[in-house]
């Protein structure tokens, strides 16, 4: 019998990926997993409302409430640890994970990135800016990636990816929406379901999926 996977979902903004996770749990597309808490760095994040609307505990740990980054990082790690979670999901979380988090949760933190890693990723590539850069470069295919988080930025083992076509008349906003609909909201819940059901392992820095 597999133990129920308890998750903390870290958010910063709209929370559509958090919503996709909560919907997938409700509809049985994610089994054997629960969201124990949603944590935002931003007190105004609509994601916190989404959590509350679904009966999930919503907490804000804001850098503005701490004297320095060190103290904020400590508070973030302690808050997550207090919920005794097995997996930390970065779902539109714009905070760089402190080293202490990576050490406390080795291959137990996953992130959704709105591009096909290793393209359009790394420091500075987040949110709408990723899609602006995709359009600037004129690539014809983009997509999304779910990966484990290591000490680097977007460098950890890749779990799932999905490609999305770029259309000639795309704006950053239309492209962002299509990448979310066709890729992010599908592969993030799918990756969680695979992890919750013991189908994901990391071997020699690469993810192996046993379906």
17 is a contact residue toward ligand GAR (CB under 6 A) = yes
Comparison of 85 and 146: residue with beta carbon closer to ligand GAR: 146
Least distance in angstroms from the C-beta of 174 to ligand GAR: 13
Residues 168-197 that bind ligand GAR (CB under 6 A): 180, 184
CA distances from 55 to 10, 58, 82 (A): 16, 9, 19
Distance CA 150, CA 35 (A): 22
Query: Which range touches ligand GAR (CB under 6 A), out of 51-59, 60-68, 124-132, 162-170?
Result: 124-132
Distance CA 192, CA 87 (A): 9
Among the listed residues 198, 195, 203, 120, the one whose alpha carbon sits nearest the alpha carbon of residue 164: 120
Report residue 137: phi and psi, to 5°. -80, -20
Comparison of 63 and 127: residue with beta carbon closer to ligand GAR: 127
The residue with tokens 């949760």 is 105
50 is a contact residue toward ligand GAR (CB under 6 A) = no
Catalytic (active-site) positions = 113
Residues forming the site for ligand GAR (CB under 6 A): 11, 13-17, 47, 91-92, 112-114, 126-127, 130, 180, 184
């Amino acid at each position: 019998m597999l133990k129920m996977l308890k998750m903390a979902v870290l958010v910063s903004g709209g929370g559509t990926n958090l919503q996709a996770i909560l919907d997938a749990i409700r509809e049985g597309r994610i089994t054997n997993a629960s969201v124990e808490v949603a944590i935002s760095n931003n007190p105004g994040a609509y994601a916190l409302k989404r959590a509350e609307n679904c009966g999930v505990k919503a907490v804000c740990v804001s850098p503005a409430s701490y004297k320095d980054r060190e103290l904020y990082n400590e508070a973030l790690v302690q808050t997550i640890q207090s919920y005794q979670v097995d997996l930390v999901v970065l779902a539109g979380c714009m905070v760089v994970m402190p080293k202490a988090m990576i050490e406390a949760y080795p291959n137990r933190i996953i992130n959704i990135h709105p591009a096909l890693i290793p393209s359009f990723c790394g420091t500075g590539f987040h949110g709408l800016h990723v899609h602006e850069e995709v359009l600037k470069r004129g690539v014809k295919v983009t997509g999304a990636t779910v990966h484990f988080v290591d000490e680097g930025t977007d460098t950890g083992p890749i779990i799932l990816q999905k490609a999305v076509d770029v259309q000639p008349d795309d704006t950053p906003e239309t492209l962002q929406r299509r990448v979310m609909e066709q890729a992010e909201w599908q592969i993030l819940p799918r990756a969680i379901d695979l992890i919750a059901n013991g189908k994901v392992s990391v071997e020699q820095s690469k993810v192996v999926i046993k379906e």
